[in-house]
Chains A and B, each alone.
Chain A
Amino acid sequence: MPTYNTEQYPGNHKKMFNFLIEEYQYFLVKSVKTDFGYIDEYRNNNIRIVMNYDVRDNIFYFDIINGYNTTYPNDSDNENIKMFHDLFSKHETVALQRVMPDEKQYVQSLYLNAVLLRKYGDKVLRGEEWV
């Protein structure tokens, strides 16, 4: 069971994903701490980025959603809801575990998600192509 402190997550998250606001003009429309983790949602026209860090289950649910009105979450929608990992995997082989928190850390994995989203997500974030 992980024993690291997650109190700095909101600050780390905002710093690492600030490029969505600065470079892609996204709006942070939701940023909440729940009983079990953190949820941040960014929007820009037709693309939504939802990042849910479930601390109890030690997992990142980081998704890209196509469509302002697309229902989320939705177990059956594999067309308009994609994991960050789906995008990364189109460009390079990345083990799912590398972009997930593990027993020892969450910060490096969070950082890797930000780096790869910035590296491979340009056209998707601009709404010019889909995953």
Chain B
Amino acid sequence: MPKLPKFAPEDVGKIKPVDNLVANNIKAKRVLVGKNNGKIAVVGRGMDKRVNVFAEGIGAETFKPSKKALGLYDKGDKSLLMKENKKWIKRIKRKGYTVYDVGLDPKFTAKSDFSKGDFYEMETKELFGD
């Protein structure tokens, strides 16, 4: 497991760039510093390819939808999935998680594609204000 950066008490609630934090070959881009409570979460675009892979490498939480939300979204109704995703984001923010953002796939940004999609866009707005 890579060594995670340590933050000072005055950093709580701040957004900081992350350099050289790589887990399972996925790079973190930035972090929202939480309370010093050991709770860590990960967001980003590409749940299977990047977010969950990085999270496994640092022992962090990621969004886990309910079976009902999964059943609906396969059929084209993503409203419950979005509702649960937003609820999870608000919970980790309220509980003072340290949240790492793995951002967009660098292979896409290298092609000047910076689109976030509806879900990751909601996550970055709620957590990072952009």
A positions within 8 Å CB-CB of B: 1-7, 34-37, 39, 52, 54-59, 61, 71, 73-78, 81, 83, 85, 96
Contact = CB atoms under 8 A, between A and B. Distances in A.
Given A73-B25, A73-B26, A78-B107, A56 B119 contact: yes
Contacts of B118: 1, 58
Contacts of B120: 57
A57 B111 contact: no
Interface stretch (B2-10, B33-41, B69-77, B88-96): B69-77
Contacts of A35: 47, 64-65, 70
Interface residues of B, number: 33
Contacts, number: 84
Contacts of A75: 22, 25-27, 50, 105-106
B88 to A, nearest CB: 13
7 contacts: A36-B48, A55-B74, A56-B78, A57-B47, A61-B105, A76-B25, A85-B111
Given A56-B73, A59-B45, 10 more contacts: A36-B47, A36-B48, A37-B48, A54-B49, A57-B46, A73-B53, A77-B25, A78-B110, A81-B107, A83-B107
B117 interface: yes
Nearest to B113: A96
A52 B70 CA distance: 17
Nearest to A63: B107
Interface of B: 22, 25-27, 45-50, 53, 64-65, 70, 73-78, 81-82, 105-108, 110-111, 113, 117-120
A57 B70 contact: no
Contacts of A36: 47-48
B46 A59 contact: yes
A39 B107 contact: no
